[in-house]
Amino acid sequence: MRTIKFRAWDKEKKKMYYKDLIIGNYAIGSHEFGPKKPNEVILMQYIGLKDKNGKEIFEGDLIGEEGFVLSVEFHDGCFTVGNAQPLIEWLNGRSRRQDDTFVIGNIYENKNLTQ
């Protein structure tokens, strides 16, 4: 069974929160940042995979492998990379393996890597 986890990017504080998220109809909160309205944070889901160093991969992460960087996105019902190619398909393609891929940052804290 896949673990369902989220992290949240606080738009105002420009900070990522990983623990104790409570998701409801009206507010998202944590003991670290208190209650927030849904439009004040960006939620990102854990995709159920880890990189070669054991780091959990979340939507919005930037993953790398020998000279290139791709962002992980949720598109048309599945997690995708770069050009909307399904992540699992990308990982299984031409000698790419999950244990060759690593998280190098995310699209909010590492904008310099996306340009």
- Does residue 108 register a pLDDT over 90? yes
User: What would the pLDDT profile of 90-106 be if each residue is shown by its tens digit?
Assistant: 666 655 555 678 899 99
Report which of 110, 5, 1, 18 is spatially closest to residue 61, judged by C-alpha positions: 110
CATH value at residue 56: 2.30.30.290
Q: Is residue 1 part of a domain?
A: no
* Residue 18: its H or E element: none
pLDDT for res 5: 84
Q: Is residue 43 part of a domain?
A: yes
Average pLDDT on 80-94 reads 70
Report which of 60, 51, 75, 74 is spatially closest to residue 113, judged by C-alpha positions: 60
Domain, as residue range, for 97: 6-113
User: What would the pLDDT profile of 16-58 be if each residue is shown by its tens digit?
Assistant: 887 756 555 445 555 566 667 778 888 899 988 888 889 999 9
Number of domains in the chain: 1
pTM, to two decimals: 0.79
